[in-house]
Amino acid sequence: MATPGSSQARRVPRPHDFLPLLKFKRPVLDPTTRRLERALTIADLRVIAKRRTPKAPFDYTDGAAEAELSLSRARQAFEDITFHPAILRDVSAVDTSVQVLGKRSALPFGIAPTGFTRMMQSEGEIAGATAAAAAGIPYSLSTMGTTGIEEVAAATPQGRNWFQLYMWKDRDRSMALVDRAAAAGFDTLLVTVDVPVAGARLRDVRNGMTIPPTLTPRTVLNTIPRPAWWINFLTTEPLAFASLDKWSGTVAELLDTMFDPTVTFEDLAWIRDQWPGTVVVKGVQSVEDAVKVAELGVDAVLLSNHGGRQLDRAPIPFHLLPQVRAAVGDQLEVHLDTGIMSGQDIVAALAVGADFTLIGRAYLYGLMAGGRRGVDRAIEILTGEIERTMRLLGVTSIAELEPRHVTQLQRLAPRSV
């Protein structure tokens, strides 16, 4: 019977009316799979990582130098953009691959070198390297890695591995690592030039962060709700630097004993001549230095402020990118890291002038959230965001991205005199 003023007759619902609406998702029994499926963004992975990882290793990953302004500004720079989409393009298929340093990468990003990775989660460097190999992207092993050069190479026979070098005061030991990496088939050397001394990473100082981790009443209390981390930590190989002798002090103390503040452009040229593969200079933070590096004949510069972990208030790599691209032209490739937390960040960097990008924290959050499967999930999230952003911009390949697709909005600008 219709009620007064109604346009439709009402009726009592029948059971079969509900059946099409009652579609229950099959329960996921594996807890790792379940929590990773709930992560839709890198920020979601970070939340899971923080919940599952003790404070000292999480803060080592998550934190930056001093007031952490370099990191927050780098992330803000990516947020302060406007995309300019084109409409009515056939974007049914998109190609995310790029040529980087003479070889194909299935995606326009690789995994950046990160130290102490097995401290963050016991699968460590092997999880990152094997996930990268499976995705068809480069993996970078740090001098401060906790898995050996030869172990990473053996775990990734089809992978593409790069080695990141810090120049130490003991040059013979530095170059011995370079020789081992070349012998193991690593094709690219990332020479890091922004660490003459260690940055003031205050979270680590406050946490008393050491290698291996120091047990104090506070760290034990913090670990109680995170038993999986400790079970994994205690039932796998003891944590140590794969390329170094044992060290029982803080990380900052170790770095200051190792790193050589006397390294110059002449040393960089010498290192370039020792390496048989391609060379990337990591940590370039000015147009002038990018031009000088290009003149040395290296293969790429990596615009980076070390993830905000060295000089606080450092230049923002994403802001620097257009000027460097214009200054070096096609002399060499321009890569970028620092602040990348989404596929949109990567697309913006490529449009503004980068040939390639590297992710650090973004994959480490996945590692801490779920080991190798967590790294796979981080790569999957970024890949989906890149493909979706490309389609919405109206482009079908990375090569079609141009500066016209992005406007960098101005938040921080020099004060006029």
d(CA 37, CA 51): 16
pLDDT of residue 234: 80
> Residue 235 is encoded by which pair of tokens?
């039932």
The first and second tokens of residue 302, run together, are: 């990596």
List 16, 306, 319, 335, catalytic entry: 306
Look at residue 381 in the predicted model and tell me its pLDDT.
Answer: 98
Take residue 81 and report the two structure tokens written for it: 């953009």
Q: Read out DSSP for 102-138?
A: TEEESSSEEEPP-SSHHHHSTTHHHHHHHHHHHHT--
Q: How far is CA 138 from CA 37, 97, 107, 143, in A?
A: 25, 12, 9, 16
- Gap between the Cα atoms of 271 and 248, Å rounded: 30
d(CA 357, CA 345): 10
Of 378, 375, 376, 317, the residue nearest 348 (C-alpha): 317
Q: Is the dihedral of CA 363, 136, 138, 385 positive or negative?
A: negative
pLDDT mean values, one per 10 residues, the chain (417 residues): 63 72 75 92 97 91 94 96 96 97 97 93 96 98 92 96 87 86 96 86 81 66 80 79 58 66 86 93 96 95 95 96 96 97 98 98 97 98 98 98 95 75
* Alpha-carbon distances of 363 from 23, 48, 111, 164, rounded to whole Å: 34, 13, 7, 17
Domain residue extents for the chain: 33-404
Separation in Å, CA 215 to CA 54, 90, 212 = 11, 58, 9
Please compute, for residue 332, the number of CA atoms within 13 A of its CA located in the half-sphere on the CB side. 23
Domain 33-404 -> CATH class: alpha beta
The per-residue DSSP string of 294-331 comes to HHTT-SEEEE--GGGTSSTT---HHHHHHHHHHHHTTS
The token duo for 19 is 């059946």
Q: How far apart are CA 33 and CA 233, in angstroms?
A: 21
Closest C-alpha among 258, 237, 315, 238 to residue 69: 315
> Among this protein's residues, is 335 annotated catalytic?
no
Find the DSSP H helices in 208-303: 217-223, 227-234, 251-258, 265-274, 287-295
Q: How many CA atoms lie within 13 A of 292 on its CB side?
A: 11
Give the pair of three-digit tokens for residue 252. Answer: 């900052």
- In single-letter form, the type of residue at position 58 comes to F
Handedness of CA 42, 47, 52, 58 (dihedral sign): positive
CA atoms within 13 A on the CB side of 17: 4
